[in-house]
Amino acid sequence: MSSCPDGWGLGFDPRDMTASQRLLDGNHGEDRVAGGCPALLVRGRRSTVLTAQHARNMAARRPRTRLVGLPAGHAVHASAPRESASTVREFLDTL
């Protein structure tokens, strides 16, 4: 949820979410861990979608993955945009 001029609303367009869900066609976990380049996994510490343990497991399964937890909800880029951008910049500076 996010604050709007006329009250509260969803932080996304429901049509976009529906379209995204239609495109999900399976578990892409093996594709995700197959890459060898450095990866950044950013998790909002207040996320109710991705648990801290699941994020740690995801990071552990893929070599060269850096896991960062930010004080945010699941949509980290929306609820903590400055921290999110800074985290990505810092990660890219290490490459």
Q: How many domains does the chain have?
A: 1
Element containing residue 13 per DSSP (H, E): none
Range list of H helices, the chain = 14-23, 29-34, 52-61, 76-79, 81-93
Whether pLDDT at 76 is above 70: yes
40, 45, 51, 53: CA torsion to nearest 10: 70
Would you say residue 2 lies in a domain? no
Cα 56 from Cα 65, distance rounded (Å):
10
Q: Supply the pLDDT for residue 34.
A: 81
Per residue in 41-52, pLDDT (tens digit) is 999 999 998 999
Would you say residue 74 lies in a domain? yes
Bridge partner residues of 9 (DSSP): 2
Q: Supply the pLDDT for residue 6.
A: 78
What is the number of helices (H) and of strands (E) in the chain?
5, 4
Would you say residue 52 lies in a domain? yes
Would you say residue 40 lies in a domain? yes
- Print the domain residue range for 70: 28-93
Residue showing tokens 């066609």? 25
**Whole-number average pLDDT of the chain:** 87
* pLDDT tier for residue 7 given thresholds of 50, 70 and 90: confident
Q: Is the pTM of this model over 0.85?
A: no
Whether pLDDT at 26 is above 70: no
Would you say residue 32 lies in a domain? yes
Would you say residue 77 lies in a domain? yes
24 and 18 Cβ atoms separated by less than 8 Å: no
Would you say residue 37 lies in a domain? yes
